[in-house]
């Protein structure tokens, strides 16, 4: 069997790349290890940069986003019991959209089904080979039978735990793990805020986000080794009330529909390509979630690689493909430093003794005073939060 692009992974990166290639008339097959239901059920990111929204609009994939997405003009930063609003429109003339990754994946998949795209779910033993030559292949097991697909390019959109990154000989990782994670809940209650709230509190970070006018998404910082079983719904709401509380404001509580703990790490692969294999999204890099860059980075990679594949396969111009890794990594390192900065700024850090902990906390409050008090600093945060351009210029 032969196609032009073999895409491994049906997360947002793989599904979106399929649409970009389809529009250019390039054939593709998507191989996904999990079931369709599992892919549709994963609850993850919630914020789309304006550039991500623009990409979906250009591709005609924004109907559901226009109907259900919520346009936000800024965020609140909270510390020492006071809330400060950053107005992105006034600062950088840009907005962000609240639109769950789950809704995006549902829409991208529905559109693929309408187009009759070749997506194989629940495949196993996915193995890319012959990556150094011009005829790479991917073998996999589907319903007990082993099949091999040849293509012009193989795309590793298979996330952090996928098989594509380890298939690159000599690849290295640059990483930092954090000794804390986020406990996230989805709650059946209208949001108690207009824009998202990011809060530093002596007990730890907390955030108030949302999925719709009826459903809230909230997070609290927990130790990385904590078990979700130790966090009853009542304990979670208590922590949220304490960390998000300010005078004259009430956090409405509701039924907890889902809860889970996400570990936090920063990770960048030393390269995002090898021969005819190209990595996109979490397969190549991971950011801690503060600042909402994971999904947006995956979209930025896919836009860059999509253009390069179209130029290479349709116009014989290989420069985009040969420059893809360097261009994607250059943008990604800027995103990494922002996500790391936001994470350090807003989380409580452990320290060897009480004095060092106090110093760290007071220094963070100083930084937050500076960010909220300086127009230049607010503008810098807004520029990065609302999203860097999708090219590296």
Q: Which residues bind ligand FAD (CB under 6 A)?
A: 8-14, 31-34, 39, 44-46, 101, 126, 157-159, 161-163, 262, 281-282, 289, 292-295, 298
Helix (H) or strand (E) holding 133: none
| Least Å from the CB of residue 296 to ligand DHB | 10
- Which of 19, 274, 293, 347 is catalytic? The answer is 293
Should residue 387 be labelled a site residue for ligand DHB when binding is judged by CB under 6 A?
A: no
* Residue 109 touching ligand DHB (CB under 6 A): no
Distance between CA atoms of 47 and 198, rounded to whole angstroms? 13
Which of these, 186, 175, 196, 160, lies nearest to 385 by C-alpha position? 196
Find the shortest distance in angstroms from Cβ 370 to ligand FAD.
25
User: Who's near 135: CB < 8 A, 6+ residues apart?
Assistant: 150
Catalytic residue among 76, 285, 289, 324: 289
The stretch near ligand DHB (CB under 6 A) out of 15-23, 102-110, 286-294, 357-365 is 286-294
Which residues are CB-neighbours of 272 under 8 A, at least 6 positions away? Answer: 278, 279, 280, 284, 301, 324, 325, 328, 329
Residue of the chain from 3, 29, 209, 296 that contacts ligand DHB (CB under 6 A): 209
In whole angstroms, what is the distance from residue 382 CA to residue 61 CA? 26
264 binds, among ligand FAD, ligand DHB, none (CB under 5 to 8 A by kind): none
Q: How far apart are CA 213 and CA 227, in angstroms?
A: 30
Q: Considering just the CA atoms, what is the radius of gyration of the chain in Å? A: 21
Answer for which of 271, 290, 296, 297 binds ligand DHB (CB under 6 A) is 290
Which of 46, 69, 159, 281 binds ligand DHB (CB under 6 A)? It is 46
Q: How many Cβ atoms sit within 10 Å of the Cβ of residue 4? A: 18
Q: Which is nearer to ligand DHB, 157 or 292 (CB)?
A: 292
- 349 in active site: no
385 among known catalytic residues: yes
Fill in the DSSP letter of residue 2: B
| 99 is known as an active-site residue | no
C-beta of 225 vs 317, nearer to ligand FAD: 225
Residue 11 interacting partner from ligand DHB, ligand FAD, none (CB closer than 5 to 8 Å by kind): ligand FAD
- Contacts of residue 22, defined as CB under 8 A and 6 or more positions apart, other chains included, come to 28, 115, 117
Q: Which is nearer to ligand DHB, 4 or 296 (CB)?
A: 296
Phi, psi (rounded to 5 degrees) for 274 = -155, 110
Contact status, residue 100 vs residue 43, Cβ threshold 8 Å: yes
Q: Is 76 in the site for ligand DHB (CB under 6 A)?
A: no
Q: How far apart are CA 236 and CA 157, in angstroms?
A: 34
26: helix, strand or coil: coil
Nearer to ligand DHB, 211 or 274 (CB): 211
CB 96 within 8 A of CB 50: yes
Look at residue 128 and give the partner it binds from ligand DHB, ligand FAD, none, a contact being a CB closer than 5 to 8 Å depending on partner kind: none
**What distances in angstroms separate CA 373 from CA 155, 347, 381, one per listed residue?**
45, 20, 12
Residues 160-199 as x/- pattern, contact with ligand DHB by CB under 6 A: ------------------------------------x---
The continuous run of DSSP H or E covering 197 comes out as strand 196-199
Residues 6+ apart with CB under 8 A from 126: 8, 31, 33, 138, 139, 140, 158, 163
Residue nearest to ligand DHB (CB): 46
Find the binder of ligand DHB among 165, 217, 274, 347 (CB under 6 A).
217
Closest approach, Cβ 209 to ligand DHB, in A, equals 3
Provide the minimum distance between the beta carbon of 301 and ligand FAD in the complex, in angstroms, as a whole number: 8
| CA separation for the pair 390, 181 (Å, rounded) | 28
201 binds ligand DHB (CB under 6 A): no
Please report whether residue 292 would count as binding ligand DHB according to CB under 6 A.
Answer: yes
Closest approach of Cβ 20 to ligand FAD, in Å?
Answer: 14
Which residues have a catalytic role annotated?
Answer: 72, 198, 289, 293, 385
The footprint of ligand DHB (CB under 6 A) covers 45-47, 196, 209, 217, 289-292
């Amino acid at each position: 069997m032969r196609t032009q692009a073999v895409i491994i992974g049906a997360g947002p990166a793989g599904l979106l790349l399929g649409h970009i290639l389809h529009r250019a008339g390039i054939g593709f097959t998507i191989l996904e290890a999990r079931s369709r239901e599992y892919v549709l059920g994963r609850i993850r990111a919630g914020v789309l940069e304006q550039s991500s929204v623009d990409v979906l609009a250009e591709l005609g994939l924004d109907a559901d986003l226009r109907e259900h997405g919520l346009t936000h003009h800024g965020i609140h930063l909270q510390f020492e019991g006071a809330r400060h609003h950053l107005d992105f429109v006034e600062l950088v003339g840009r907005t962000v959209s609240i639109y769950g990754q789950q809704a995006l994946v549902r829409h991208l998949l529905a559109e693929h089904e309408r187009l009759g795209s070749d997506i194989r779910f629940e495949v196993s033993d996915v193995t890319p080979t012959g990556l150094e030559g011009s005829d790479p292949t991917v073998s996999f097991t589907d319903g007990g039978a082993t099949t091999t697909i040849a293509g012009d390019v193989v795309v590793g959109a298979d996330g952090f735990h996928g098989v594509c990154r380890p298939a690159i000989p000599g690849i290295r990782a640059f990483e930092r793990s954090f000794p804390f994670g986020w406990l996230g809940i989805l709650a059946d209650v209208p949001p108690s805020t207009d824009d998202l709230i990011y809060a530093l509190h002596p007990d730890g970070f907390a955030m108030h986000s949302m999925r719709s006018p009826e459903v809230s998404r909230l997070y609290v910082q927990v130790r990385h080794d904590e078990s979700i079983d130790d966090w009853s719904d009542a304990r979670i709401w208590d922590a949220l009330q304490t960390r998000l509380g300010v005078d004259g404001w009430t956090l409405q509580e509701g039924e907890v529909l889902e809860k889970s703990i996400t570990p936090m790490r920063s990770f960048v692969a030393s390269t995002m390509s090898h021969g005819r294999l190209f990595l996109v999204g979490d397969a190549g890099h991971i950011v801690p979630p503060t600042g909402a860059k994971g999904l947006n980075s995956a979209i930025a990679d896919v836009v860059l690689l999509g253009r390069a594949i179209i130029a290479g396969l349709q116009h014989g111009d290989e420069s985009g493909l040969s420059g893809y890794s360097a261009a994607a990594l250059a943008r990604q390192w800027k995103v990494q430093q922002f996500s790391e900065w936001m994470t350090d700024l807003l989380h409580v850090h452990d320290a060897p003794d009480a004095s060092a902990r106090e110093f760290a906390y007071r220094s963070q409050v100083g930084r937050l005073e500076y960010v909220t008090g300086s127009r230049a600093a607010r503008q810098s945060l807004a520029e990065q939060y609302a999203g860097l351009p999708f090219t590296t210029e």
